[in-house]
Amino acid sequence: MRSTKIKSGNGFTILEVMVALAIMGISIGIFFGSIGNSSRLRGKIDEHTKSLLLARTKMEEAFLGILGKKYVKLNEKKTFEGITKDGIPWKVSEVNKYKEAMDKIDMNTTAIGENFMEEVPPEGTTLLSTFVEGISIETIFFTEESGGSPKTEDSEEQETGSEED
């Protein structure tokens, strides 16, 4: 006689195996999708870093006065423009803020209050604006316009000391 009794097994049913494979497949798909997104994001970060480095380099070149001799001058604003070998456009504007502020003043006005002098930047104030692919860097620096060496407290003391001798 045959026994119709089913032995209880310790294995998995086909349904359990299929569910486990489906879960693993979905997990692997999400994992590789995130790796693909991170590599695209890394490429964008590298491009942004390259543009930022170019903007900083052009800003430093303009600050040191080695940016180039070819520029367009409109009033008190000099504009340097160019395209790199990689095809990245850049633009640097140099504005003498003191002269710009003085040009805005109506010299026919007799009543100039103290508020006026508070709004005018010191002589020799220059604004550098750099634009590279959506990156904008602005720097304000001060130069000596008179052409002489700037006086410091130390140099004034030395001058007065030499007069006494």
Among 115, 55, 128, smallest CA distance to 90 is for 55
Q: Report the candidate in 67, 90, 93 with the shortest Cα–Cα distance to residue 78.
A: 93
d(CA 74, CA 103): 13
Over 60: is that where the pLDDT of 160 sits?
Answer: no
Question: Model confidence at 5, in pLDDT bands (50, 70, 90)?
Answer: low
For residues 119 and 104, the answer to whether their CB atoms sit within 8 Å is no
Q: Give this prediction's pTM.
A: 0.56
Among the ranges given (4-13, 55-64, 123-132), the one the predictor scored with the smallest mean pLDDT: 4-13
80-139 pLDDT, tens digit per residue, is: 888 888 888 999 988 888 777 777 765 535 445 555 556 777 887 888 888 898 888 888
- Name the residue ranges covered by the structural domains of the chain: 63-164
